[in-house]
Chains A and B, each alone.
Chain A
Amino acid sequence: MTTAPLQINLNGFLNELKKKFVVIDCRKNILAPKQYLFPAQETAFNFDIKKSRLKTLPPIKPFILFGLPLRDLEAITRLDEIMSRPNKNYYYFRRRSKTTIIGLTDEQFNIPPGGDLILQKLSPKDFAVMPVTAKGTVLIKKMALARPSKNIPASQYAENKTMPKLRLLLQDAEMLKDAVAWSWKNYPQIWDELAKICLGCGICAYVCPLCHCFSTEDSMDIAGKSCKRCQNWAACTLPEFSRVAGGHNFHKTLKERYYNWFYHKFARSYEEFGEPQCVACGRCQAACPARIDIEKILINITQKYKIANRA
């Protein structure tokens, strides 16, 4: 930032914000902010049987997502890209276009990873305000913020201690892709072991800020007047994920399904988007009831891969 940042008192700012806008404070959430853009159950179509036509979906009102850490901002930037293929996803961008995202961090960064506005910590109460997009600038004007800021002493920046080693691994995305792809045939022991301890509950997919698989489910209302077609969160560790009508399952075992979760994030995604679908936010690891240390697994796999491929 070339210009001196604006400075605010966090609680005062948040209170003012709440007076003027619909604010969702994400700071204490277990689920990633994707839940507000790609909800667990999205009514995609509502069909009126009597009139034989689709009802208009209720409009989305503008809202602010508040308090996203840098990695969540990055995740939403990535999710925007995922949801833009092959065309802009109607449901996602219907919400996204009404969203203003305010990041909150005590870390240092050079280029803002995403969001519309970032609040960077100066002291326990004071934060610098940095607009990232035009939306952010408009918000600053609407909030009538004008106070100049102090210089920010670098010593105050905190370091993100979540999955630091995975963060490093992610920087060599191609190697990570090769290692994960290699491991299925060449290091099956690890997947056999994990299939014994993984509950297959799907939590890792639900809490992930980037997992975006969904199942389409139709239903009718009990009065028999309308039909709904919903897009619901799915999880690739669940047995029905790859099962077709008639019962054949293309991923029969939990071993295949749990591997698919890794394979998608670190291999398929690299082929598709040129980067892994992971921002090392640590949610999957923190929320796994089986305490599977995902960072450790990836380190283990890459080490084995490097040893095996040294010659």
Chain B
Amino acid sequence: MQNIYAPISVKIAKIEEHSPSVKLFRLKRTDGKKFSAQKNGLIFTPGQFVLAGVWGYGEAPFGPASDPLNRNHIDIVVRKIGQTTSALHHMKEGSKITLRGPYGNGYPIENFLGKDIIMITGGCGLPPIAALIEYIINNRAKFGIVHLLYGASTPPDLLMKNRMKFWQKNIQIMLTVDKPICNWEGRTGLISECLLELKINPANTMVAMCGPGPMVNALEHLLNPMGISDKRIFISMERKMQCGVGRCQHCVTGNKYVCADGPVFNLDEIDKNWD
């Protein structure tokens, strides 16, 4: 009998410091094999999550940030916030950790084909969106106009700056911060202001969001008047995901399990949930 809770062993091939509390870990399999592709040819669908763990310290969910077509490695972006993430932050390059997944449903990329895409994210919500960007850039001709709106509290909190330069050549990016410290020359203010500046063709636009709850709630109310219905809005939800397969019950919202039915939901599916 297969044990779905049994993780595989992976090695930290590279660590990048992205902000004082955020590190990116590049993970490779310790057995030298490549990560296996799912039915859609991707090792994970952008928006799906993996559970990375350290024996003795637990597991935590992460939406991989790397190119889902690249089977050599998976990048996870880890904010030091609890027991598992603190343990991960103490790891060095070459350390072994555990990995299982991918789990749940990602962004419906097949529905995004041929469409203009607006990706909106804030704070630490960037990684799954980053994977979506990597996928889009890999298949650039199959998508229309693509926007990324990304906000953070301060300039040092903006993650994946090294990839941003590459992305900027391929998609439209608007960055904004709340506090313009560190000689920030870019925009200051709310992400909603960025959204209102966009000139869009609502009939051909899909929205992918990942970010803190209040941000998502605020944006919902702007998108509908812009002509984008709930059916065209996909959001990645945060909940306590432990088992990853819809059994442990911690991540429930309404009649859905965020780990198994999400974490990416169509807004229409979840906005009537009691919780």
Determine whether A and B are in direct contact in the complex, meaning some CB atoms lie less than 8 angstroms apart. Answer: yes
Separation of A220 and B55 alpha carbons in the complex (Å)? 8
Contact call B240/A90, Cβ cutoff below 8 A: no
Separation of A256 and B82 alpha carbons in the complex (Å)? 24
Contact call B248/A242, Cβ cutoff below 8 A: no
Contact call B260/A86, Cβ cutoff below 8 A: yes
Interface size classification for chain A: 35 or more
Contact call B55/A47, Cβ cutoff below 8 A: yes
Contact call B239/A216, Cβ cutoff below 8 A: no
Known: A216-B242, A244-B239. A256 touches B275 (CB 8 A): yes
Residues of chain A contacted by B55 (CB below 8 angstroms): 45, 47, 49, 218, 227, 229
| B140, chain A: closest CB distance, angstroms | 35
Asked if A300 is at the interface of the complex by the 8 Å CB criterion, the answer is: no
| A204, chain B: closest CB distance, angstroms | 14
Contact call B240/A250, Cβ cutoff below 8 A: yes
Residues of chain B contacted by A229 (CB below 8 angstroms): 55, 58
Contact with B along A181-205 (1 / 0, CB 8 A): 1001100000000000000000000
| A110, chain B: closest CB distance, angstroms | 32
Q: Which of B55, B81, B252 has the most CB of A within 10 A?
A: B55
Contact call B240/A216, Cβ cutoff below 8 A: no
Within 8 A of A (CB), among B234-275: 238-240, 242-243, 245-255, 260, 274-275
| A50, chain B: closest CB distance, angstroms | 12
Known: A216-B59, A268-B252. A251 touches B1 (CB 8 A): no
Known: A90-B3, A213-B250. A245 touches B245 (CB 8 A): no
Separation of A86 and B242 alpha carbons in the complex (Å)? 15
| A13, chain B: closest CB distance, angstroms | 33
Contact call A90/B250, Cβ cutoff below 8 A: no
Contact call A215/B242, Cβ cutoff below 8 A: yes
**A245 contacts which of B4, B82, B247 (Cβ < 8 Å)?**
B82
| B249, chain A: closest CB distance, angstroms | 4
Separation of A248 and B254 alpha carbons in the complex (Å)? 18
Residues of chain B contacted by A86 (CB below 8 angstroms): 4, 245-246, 260
**A234 contacts which of B82, B249, B253 (Cβ < 8 Å)?**
B249
Beyond A215-B248, A215-B250, A229-B55, 15 additional pairs, beta carbon < 8 A: A47-B56, A52-B96, A86-B246, A89-B4, A94-B1, A214-B248, A214-B249, A228-B56, A234-B248, A241-B240, A241-B250, A242-B251, A246-B82, A248-B238, A263-B274
Q: Which are the 10 A-B pairs with shortest beta-carbon distances?
A: A245-B82, A227-B56, A213-B249, A90-B3, A227-B55, A47-B55, A220-B56, A218-B58, A271-B255, A246-B81
What are some 12 contacts across the A-B interface (CB < 8 A)? A85-B247, A86-B245, A86-B260, A87-B245, A214-B243, A214-B247, A216-B248, A227-B55, A236-B249, A244-B239, A264-B249, A268-B254
Chain A residues proximal to chain B, CB less than 8 Å = 44-45, 47, 49, 52, 54, 82, 85-91, 93-94, 181, 184-185, 212-220, 227-229, 231, 234, 236, 241-246, 248, 250-251, 256, 259-260, 263-264, 267-268, 271-272
